Amino acid sequence: MRPEARTDCSDTAEFLSTDSLTGLGNRQRFFRKLATMIEAHAADPVPFAITLFNIDGFKPINDLFGRCAGDTILAQIALRLHSALEEEATVCRLGGDEFAILHPSLFTEQAVRVEVQLLLELVSAPYDIGGRSVRISCSAGSAIYEDAEDDWEVFFEKAESALYHAKRQGCGSLLIHTCQMEEAMRRRTQIEQALRRAVSAGEIEPFFQPIVDLRTGEPIGFECLARWTDPDFGSVPPSVFIPIAEERGLIELLTQLLLEKACIAARDWPRRMFLSFNLSPTQLVDPETTRLVLSIIVATRFDPRRLEIEITETGVMSDPACAKQIVSQFRDVGIHISLDDFGTGQSSLGRLRDFHFDKLKIDRSFVSVVLEDRPSEHIVKAILALCDGLDIDVIAEGIESREQAEKLVELGCQGGQGYYFGTPADAASTVALLQRLSRRSDLKDDAREATLMAS
């Protein structure tokens, strides 16, 4: 009875540690094998490696082709990886669109890089989905076991850190864990803790950059930009703390804090001035986003017709159906919708038709070279012509010189934004600017009236 009982127990354990979709080991099996490997190397820490693979942009594949197609691709990826590896290597599916490989015989960075690069190329070859050819890419993060003090959890976290940095670097990237990466993750954790405290204490401030009528140079609205100065870290750029807020679940609280402050500040502006506010791509896949924004508008008594919500192409593409619903709900109460950074993401001209944007912002990468780069000039021309036909207003971002502004006017662009017209300023400085402009306008009106009376 006992041998049979042991067999049943072994079969059950094997079943519980097998991924039902791909037939590979699951997360439980991978961690068990990794822990066993580290225990075996405790006395003699011979290096070995692990690699984590994550599919770039897998959700749109499910949205476009259906979940069955997504499952087919996952099963084919599993087969490709398993077939390409040596028998002693182990590949498991950790869950979702993430796979892990244990490389017992790879112990140098060069060997890992060569092996993993070949696997990335293998995975990126086309997939046949119901007669359609689909291409994907993967990002990969690897770590080499060299420190006998690392347990399996610490070692796995090193590979996760490498994968995180690889995905931030761009689709199809491969990075191997380094000490510098570890230090960056430690600092990131410290910034996250400081950010949580700062959001809770209301220390993130809205700054406002003017958006102008290019023909007159006069402000027609302001974009709200987040600014944070920490006692220990000093001035922390939004490019650093906004992604942390998105990834660590702080973005809703941060949005609430900023939008409340921005709406209160904008109530002191002339009523013809609009407030432009950015939503994170992660908020366009959250149905609660509409409730959050509308509740703030009501609480601050801000006119929704003076609010413009900026969203990016990346945000729209993550979940088009949810994003379209959120945009529609905003428009129903009079909020205007602006598409930011146009031309740099996963562009789809159909999105301009389906989402009924009120405004489009030409990315600064085209504006910065519009004077000397003919292709960029033609792209700007094409965008302006397209938006004219669709009755969409256009704002050119990143204008830094008079010559650029004049060129854009010549091409037919009416709105602009950039350091040439003004740097971001706090609420008090923005009100002071508007007061100076108002006095200047009054003086012009007085002079014009005196001229008419004299004539």
Rounded Cα distance, 241 and 233, in Å: 12
Supply the pLDDT for residue 183: 82
Supply the pLDDT for residue 3: 39
To which residue do tokens 């600014």 refer?
A: 227
387, amino acid identity: C
Domain ranges of the chain: 7-177, 194-441
Give the residue among 436, 430, 26 at the shortest CA–CA distance from 265: 430
Supply the pLDDT for residue 15: 61
Q: For the whole model, what pTM was predicted?
A: 0.73
Alpha-carbon distance values, 364 to 221, 269, 376 (Å) = 18, 27, 11
Supply the pLDDT for residue 322: 87
CB 208 within 8 A of CB 190: no
CB 384 within 8 A of CB 413: yes
Which residues are the active-site residues? 397
Supply the pLDDT for residue 133: 84
Architecture of the domain whose range is 194-441 = Alpha-Beta Barrel (3.20)
Question: How many other CB atoms are there within 10 angstroms of residue 388's CB atom?
Answer: 12
Supply the pLDDT for residue 1: 35
Direct distance between the N- and C-terminal alpha carbons of the chain, in angstroms, rounded to an integer: 117
Coil/strand/helix, residue 97: coil
**Helices 251-266 + 179-200 axis angle, to 10:** 50
DSSP characters over 387-408: HHHHT-EEEE----SHHHHHHH
Phi, psi of 200 (to 5 degrees): -60, -35
Tens-of-pLDDT digits for all 455 residues of the chain? 333 444 455 555 566 789 989 999 999 999 999 999 998 877 777 889 999 999 987 877 777 778 888 899 999 999 999 999 988 899 999 999 999 999 998 989 999 999 999 999 999 999 988 778 888 899 999 999 987 778 899 999 999 989 988 988 888 999 999 878 878 878 888 999 999 999 999 999 999 999 999 999 999 999 999 999 999 999 999 999 999 999 889 999 999 999 999 999 999 999 999 999 999 988 988 889 999 999 999 999 999 999 999 998 777 777 788 888 999 999 999 999 999 877 665 555 767 777 889 999 999 999 999 999 999 999 999 999 999 999 999 999 999 999 999 999 999 999 999 999 999 999 999 999 999 988 876 555 545 554 544 55
45-84-82 Cα angle (round to 5)? 80
Supply the pLDDT for residue 232: 93
Structure tokens at 142: 């690897």
Supply the pLDDT for residue 60: 74
207-209-212 Cα angle (round to 5)? 155
Supply the pLDDT for residue 7: 45
What residues contact 272, with CB distance under 8 A and at least 6 apart?
220
Architecture of the domain whose range is 7-177 = 2-Layer Sandwich (3.30)
